[in-house]
A = this chain, B = another copy of it.
Amino acid sequence: MKVLVIGGDGYCGWATALYLSNRGYEVGILDSLVRRHWDNELGVETLTPIAPIHQRTQRWKDLTGKTIDLFVGDITNYEFLQKALHKFEPNAIVHFGEQRSAPFSMIDREHAVMTQVNNVVGTLNLLYAMKEDFPECHLVKLGTMGEYGTPNIDIEEGYITIEHNGRKDTLPYPKQPGSMYHLSKVHDSHNIHFACRIWGLRATDLNQGVVYGVLTEETGMDELLINRLDYDGVFGTALNRFCIQAAIGHPLTVYGKGGQTRGFLDIRDTVRCIELAIANPAESGEFRVFNQFTEQFSVGDLAMMVKKAGNAMGLNVEVNNLDNPRIEKEEHYFNAKNTKLLDLGLQPHYLSDSLLDSLLNFAVKYQNRVDKNQILPKVTWHRK
């Protein structure tokens, strides 16, 4: 089976491409490499030194004998997209190719507009390209748990059955996204749902939680295959950032009260979830939504877990509750369903002290690469 991983040079995409390649899928990577450009713009570097994509794929071939086709270009360029699809002829498309940082999308109007236009147009182009020439191809699209916001009722997997005034229907789950980036994912979900309904395309929307960890079986095989790991205030995510902060003696940056509860998962589960989605495709005309996370934690709880694990390693870890740069509920109900991927066979890697040790050890190993000026949040959701 041929799988095109769009955004295959990124944090989740690279690990996914190698995982699928290792399991016998014919893998292509399509990436504009703009993420590396944004690192340059922001003046940040991943904790880990990541090799150029051409070196990475070459190293993978040298090590395993497996080829990963490479298409460097932007899916907002429809001509390029069409050419790449016709050259590769995928059976499934895994779409990580979007601007994925909430703070980046909230920098200013330009970044908000860029995020929404880039993400929405890229996905629209994919839908049209599939409609025209690859209607049987299965689109596996990365959504986000952030599409749901924090409703006071249980979060279902994409749809909810509503009884109202004596009648009943199963409808798309109401969305309350929390940033211009999260909004772009909601727009995508609506567009993809429509394309499935009217053109009979097949798609799986993976509403993913916050991913942590860096090593998978494949990225750990060689230093040249190492995955990126972001810790900066714009692209860094909660648990990864906390571990790096602990490693370098920087207080853990908990935004506000830290009661914000979210779904989390190990990057080794991300790659497995993608495979499960591909191996069990959506039906023609079906827009399927999986909630892709394994455990729920509050941000404050995570910080305490990192502190405890860090202390056990001899690190002196402090927790710092910052003024929350975001506007979000800091204490709320949160109970999201995540049975669909488990039903397909997912066996989660649960967060544990040993895992924290591993991530912490990794962070300690590369601590000399950390630029402390990049850790604190610089982007605010507030009006002035």
Chain A residues with a Cβ under 8 A of chain B: 78, 109, 112-113, 116-117, 120-121, 124-125, 128, 131, 135, 151-154, 160, 162-165, 167-169, 171-180, 183, 186-187, 190-191, 193-194, 197-200, 327, 333, 381-383
Of the candidates A116, A135, A194, the one having the most CB atoms from chain B within 10 angstroms of its own CB is: A194
Distance between A3 CB and nearest chain B CB, rounded to angstroms: 23
Contacts of A168 in B (CB 8 A): 152-153
Q: How far is the CA of A120 from the CA of B190 in the complex (A)?
A: 14
Ordered nearest first, which 4 A-B pairs have the shortest CB separation? A171-B174, A152-B169, A109-B128, A153-B164
B171 touches A333 (CB 8 A): no
List 23 interface pairs A-B (beta carbons < 8 Å), by A numbering: A78-B109, A109-B125, A109-B128, A112-B128, A113-B124, A116-B120, A151-B171, A153-B162, A153-B168, A154-B164, A154-B165, A160-B164, A162-B162, A162-B174, A167-B333, A171-B176, A172-B174, A172-B176, A174-B174, A183-B194, A186-B190, A187-B187, A187-B190
A121 touches B113 (CB 8 A): yes
Distance between A184 CB and nearest chain B CB, rounded to angstroms: 9
B172 touches A175 (CB 8 A): yes
Q: A112-B128, A152-B169, A153-B163 are in contact. List 13 more A-B contacts (CB 8 A).
A: A116-B124, A153-B162, A153-B167, A153-B169, A153-B171, A160-B162, A172-B175, A177-B190, A183-B187, A183-B190, A183-B194, A197-B327, A198-B383
Distance between A9 CB and nearest chain B CB, rounded to angstroms: 25
Distance between A378 CB and nearest chain B CB, rounded to angstroms: 17
Q: How far is the CA of A191 from the CA of B172 in the complex (A)?
A: 18
Contacts of A164 in B (CB 8 A): 153-154, 160, 162
Q: How far is the CA of A152 from the CA of B162 in the complex (A)?
A: 10
Contacts A112-B128, A120-B120, A174-B172 given; does A167 touch B154 at CB 8 Å: yes
Contacts A124-B109, A190-B186, A200-B383 given; does A174 touch B173 at CB 8 Å: yes
By beta carbon, the residue of chain B nearest A131 is: B383
Q: How far is the CA of A174 from the CA of B151 in the complex (A)?
A: 14
Distance between A164 CB and nearest chain B CB, rounded to angstroms: 4
Contacts of A174 in B (CB 8 A): 160, 162, 171-174
B124 touches A198 (CB 8 A): no
Copies of the polypeptide in the assembly: 2
Contacts of A191 in B (CB 8 A): 116, 180, 183
Q: How far is the CA of A172 from the CA of B174 in the complex (A)?
A: 6
Q: How far is the CA of A125 from the CA of B180 in the complex (A)?
A: 13
B190 touches A165 (CB 8 A): no
Contacts of A117 in B (CB 8 A): 117, 120-121
Contacts of A163 in B (CB 8 A): 153, 163
Contacts of A179 in B (CB 8 A): 194
Distance between A322 CB and nearest chain B CB, rounded to angstroms: 18
Q: How far is the CA of A187 from the CA of B190 in the complex (A)?
A: 8
Contacts of A187 in B (CB 8 A): 116, 120, 183, 186-187, 190
Contacts of A78 in B (CB 8 A): 109
By beta carbon, the residue of chain B nearest A116 is: B120
Distance between A337 CB and nearest chain B CB, rounded to angstroms: 10
Q: How far is the CA of A173 from the CA of B169 in the complex (A)?
A: 13
Contacts A117-B117, A197-B327, A198-B327 given; does A152 touch B167 at CB 8 Å: yes
Distance between A75 CB and nearest chain B CB, rounded to angstroms: 12
Contacts of A176 in B (CB 8 A): 171-172, 193
By beta carbon, the residue of chain B nearest A155 is: B164
B135 touches A383 (CB 8 A): yes
